[in-house]
Chain A
């Protein structure tokens, strides 16, 4: 396909991709302005935009976002850090695996949100409880993927390590960690997504303190649809950016693997 043709298909793709969103926005605006739909349920685009501006300039939206991101990042690092160590221990120690893995798998069955009441009793409704919850959310996928990756370390590499008389530490740093790295990266990526979800959840259910989740809950309580919409859009944007960031970091950290494959 020539370059021009390629550009043409791209243009078609973009045009098609924009059709539906633009159409929906027009329907939204028209039905909101004409009073076809109650403006309390569907505020006009201008109203939503003004609310966003108002929150941004007068109400320190960036500050709220900062609180949420702080919880997210702290919980994520604690959870995934412990998760990598824990997953490594389970994968490399036969005894730990036999003793702990079944219990871990059992507890994992309990849906994450169901832990919130118990966490709120143990840690209250403050910052500590939220960070614990976010950390658990990041912990689980990281453990699973670390375990999986270490377990699948190539047998021939292990034999080489054996022949070279590697110490256990050398085996971990030279064989297990590098070969598990792609899988660990997947786990960390998932952990980042889950921890953002958990941040939102923690702010909904442990609703003390500032944050984007609290903003949305406040909007709902005041029946301020525009505010809720602004909050929801921010949730989506942050999730999107975190996801992108993780994907970029992942491909950057694993770039040696691609070149090794060729």
Chain B
């Protein structure tokens, strides 16, 4: 019993220290950051010198100052936020639908051999065709409206979510379930207290891949059929030969992808914090 109290007492302190260490970079960290910045800054410098000397035509690569001005202007006018907001909303809705469906289907497949036998071959055949492949077919059925986008994005999340959930549940050791039986857990209790926590890491992997796939699917579907959103911004900038707009949209796509990934990282650590005290 003393061990439990012990770790309960020390864990917050330790995680606080770790958090502190993460916020304040060490001298080594600063040095690493400085070295890491050499290449991008050097490239930026070469880029701006080349364009100021007129060696880089604006149709090939506009000067960094120009791109920056566009970025500042598009942030100031709220244009970039508007398009990013539309894209984010689509991803969120599509992802939630896809993830919920994937979680349900994956749980059913993981818990019941019979359902797995019935569904898996058909599901694998569907999963075989890349999300991008479905877009033209779905465009014929649903047109190019919001429904199409949500369905495509949901499909992106559905496949990894289902596969990982099913695999995660299958991988929960039978002995854990037996403990539940010995404790006379009801089925719901077994599911909630043993199976789902056991499958949580795999489910998180599914969420993570699902969100990444959703984001890629969003860019794809917006490139093909959209009049708003970041993907539209890319196409529009391309058509007008406004490369500065294209680059700004690319930066926005990258930054949002990065932030979603980091956010999931943080929430994964948070949800699975009970695991740390057991390990240390």
Given the complex of chains A and B, what is the CA–CA distance between A222 and B174 in angstroms? 55
In contact, B257 and A98 (Cβ under 8 angstroms) = no
Given the complex of chains A and B, what is the CA–CA distance between A106 and B137 in angstroms? 34
Nearest CB of A to B130, in Å? 5
Interface string of B17-38 (1 = CB under 8 A from A): 0000000000000001001111
B134 (CB) vs chain A CBs: closest residue? A232
Interface string of B160-193 (1 = CB under 8 A from A): 0000000000000000000000000000000000
A99-B36, A103-B36, A121-B243 given as contacts; is B215 within 8 A of A111 (CB)? yes
In contact, B137 and A17 (Cβ under 8 angstroms) = no
Q: Choose one: B37, B128, B241; the contact of A121 (CB below 8 Å).
A: B241
Q: Choose one: A121, A233, A235; the contact of B130 (CB below 8 Å).
A: A235
In contact, B129 and A236 (Cβ under 8 angstroms) = yes
Q: Choose one: A122, A196, A219; the contact of B136 (CB below 8 Å).
A: A219
Q: Choose one: A16, A113, A116; the contact of B216 (CB below 8 Å).
A: A113
Interface string of A126-166 (1 = CB under 8 A from B): 00000000000000000000000000000000000000000
Task: List B contacts of A110 (CB < 8 A).
Answer: 250-251, 253-254, 257
A217 interfacial contact with B, CB 8 Å:
yes
Contacts of B189-240 to chain A: CB distance below 8 A:
215-216, 219-220, 223-224, 230-231, 234-235, 237-238
A228 interfacial contact with B, CB 8 Å:
yes
Nearest CB of B to A124, in Å? 12
Given the complex of chains A and B, what is the CA–CA distance between A117 and B245 in angstroms? 11
Q: Choose one: B35, B59, B119, B235; the contact of A117 (CB below 8 Å).
A: B235
B275 interfacial contact with A, CB 8 Å:
no
B121 interfacial contact with A, CB 8 Å:
yes
In contact, B137 and A117 (Cβ under 8 angstroms) = no
Q: Choose one: A109, A115, A205, A239; the contact of B257 (CB below 8 Å).
A: A109
Task: List B contacts of A231 (CB < 8 A).
Answer: 136
Nearest CB of B to A43, in Å? 11
Q: Choose one: A113, A117, A217, A240; the contact of B128 (CB below 8 Å).
A: A240
B222 (CB) vs chain A CBs: closest residue? A113
In contact, A200 and B122 (Cβ under 8 angstroms) = no
In contact, A114 and B219 (Cβ under 8 angstroms) = yes
Q: Choose one: A115, A229, A239; the contact of B137 (CB below 8 Å).
A: A229
- Which of under 10, 10 to 19, 20 to 34, or 35 or more describes the interface residues of B? 35 or more
In contact, B237 and A225 (Cβ under 8 angstroms) = no
- Which of under 10, 10 to 19, 20 to 34, or 35 or more describes the interface residues of A? 35 or more
In contact, B223 and A228 (Cβ under 8 angstroms) = no
In contact, A41 and B140 (Cβ under 8 angstroms) = yes
Interface string of A182-225 (1 = CB under 8 A from B): 00000000000000110011001100000000001101100101
Q: Choose one: B125, B246, B253; the contact of A111 (CB below 8 Å).
A: B253
Q: Choose one: A99, A103, A201, A223; the contact of B132 (CB below 8 Å).
A: A201
In contact, B117 and A102 (Cβ under 8 angstroms) = no
Task: List B contacts of A240 (CB < 8 A).
Answer: 128
From B59, B140, B141, B216, residue with most partner A Cβ within 10 Å:
B140
Nearest CB of A to B184, in Å? 31
Q: A99-B38, A114-B250, A220-B139 are in contact. List 14 more A-B contacts (CB 8 A).
A: A16-B118, A41-B141, A99-B39, A110-B253, A113-B220, A114-B249, A114-B254, A121-B59, A121-B60, A121-B241, A225-B140, A232-B134, A235-B133, A239-B130
A-B CB contact pairs (8 Å), 14 listed: A16-B118, A41-B141, A99-B35, A102-B36, A102-B37, A103-B36, A113-B231, A114-B231, A121-B243, A197-B130, A200-B133, A220-B136, A235-B129, A236-B129
* Chain B residues with a Cβ under 8 A of chain A: 32, 35-40, 59-60, 114, 117-122, 125, 128-130, 132-137, 139-141, 215-216, 219-220, 223-224, 230-231, 234-235, 237-238, 241, 243, 246-247, 249-251, 253-255, 257-258, 261
